[in-house]
């Protein structure tokens, strides 16, 4: 299946910043590979501009939730909801199920 049709299965994850960076409190990302490998890239300051900025600013973060084996379009579905605070269990919200 094509990655463009959104049907490819991936892991979508929600990162909660322990200290906000300007307007950003969370990051929603996706990986088709191992989640831990992707998170290590973020820890190294690679892979996403916002996560590189967070690393340079010395902001710590935690994975608040992840959705494994979901369609690729799930990432955009979550981002279109608006504020990730509304789906972050560390902020007191309940993550949606897919």
Task: Kindly give, in sequence order, each residue whose CB lies less than 8 Å from that of residue 38, ignoring residues fewer than 6 positions away.
Answer: 13, 29, 31, 47
Average pLDDT score over residue span 63-89: 94
- Which of the pair, 2 or 11, is modelled with greater confidence? 11
pLDDT at 1 over 50: no
Tokens of 91: 């902020």
- The domain limits of the chain are 3-83
Q: How high is the pLDDT of residue 2?
A: 46
Give the integer Cα–Cα distance in Å for 89 and 31.
Answer: 21
Q: How high is the pLDDT of residue 6?
A: 54
The pTM is what? Answer: 0.89
Give the integer Cα–Cα distance in Å for 3 and 93.
Answer: 30
pLDDT in tens, 4-36: 455 689 999 999 999 999 999 999 999 999 999
Check if the beta carbon of residue 65 is closer than 8 Å to that of residue 88. yes
């Amino acid at each position: 299946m094509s990655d463009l049709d959104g049907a490819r299965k991936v892991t979508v994850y929600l990162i909660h910043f322990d200290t906000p960076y300007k307007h950003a409190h969370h990051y929603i990302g996706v990986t088709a590979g191992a989640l831990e490998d992707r998170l290590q890239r973020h820890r190294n300051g690679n892979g996403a501009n916002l996560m590189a900025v967070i690393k340079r600013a010395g902001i710590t973060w935690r994975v608040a939730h992840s959705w494994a084996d979901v369609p690729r379009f799930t990432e955009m579905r979550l981002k279109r909801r608006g504020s990730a605070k509304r789906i972050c269990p560390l902020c007191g919200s309940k993550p949606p199920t897919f």
